[in-house]
Structure 1
């Protein structure tokens, strides 16, 4: 895997999705194997953290600032600081209707269900609504805190596959930094 910092010259989530795809020009028919999260906004230019299975290459709408190989090691009992921007939702009526979770208590409970391979302590939570011209606006929640790994395979899977919905729009990327 690779972890990269990239700049995007677009603010709409659909355009961000398109700009991120443009970083991988040699694979037009492949499935999405990358996750990203907007880290900073500076006017119309955004800085995003990108995790991908192949190395990104700068394009007209996205520039790779730096990129490095990323091989995380996760062991049971390890402690990590984490950051995750997600779109916490739940399905009603057998998966036919999806609603966003709006209270902090519901959102933290959702996160603990999704990271059931770890003991999770949330230390910071921030919510914002995203802009998209292709679909309805969505509430994204950024969680920060500390987790202790109970099941390393489940946590590794969450790290690689992402968490929750709206991954195409910049949600789902779990970042971990080992606590010594």
Structure 2
């Protein structure tokens, strides 16, 4: 197998004027003029990362392929609750799903096109599963939320039942059995 790491950075704007009022005695009156004439500088802060491990599952049923495992997931405390973990997990799913489409395109391509496309890729040919190594409860909740959004987003053509429109057949069977038992007594 091999490792891959996904990072997320946050972009901060830092003005190159040396702080508030640096050129005019500290009263801040000259800041507006300086900001308009000087270009803004940017700094980046590490927000979080995922560590991914790819390994080959030769005997996986129903078909062999590569399993993508999320080994470590970290979003630093100042940036938690802002959707960064969701975006990282979605990036992993997009990578796996995009690979599935590349594999389907390769099956329809000629031999020369397949060789060219395989040389351009740095990820395994077919990802059959994305799993998580020992997830924390908060990560389980994040994954459940992301999976649910993925199902709703990709399967809008499904006829989902409306609230209250589904009746359980088991309830009808249970009530009949209770009536039969009461009649026997």
TM-score (norm 2): 0.24
By relative contact order (CA 8 Å, sep 6+), the higher-ranking structure is: 1
Whose strand proportion is higher, 1 or 2?
Answer: 1
Whose helix proportion is higher, 1 or 2?
Answer: 2
Q: Which one has a bigger Cα radius of gyration?
A: 2
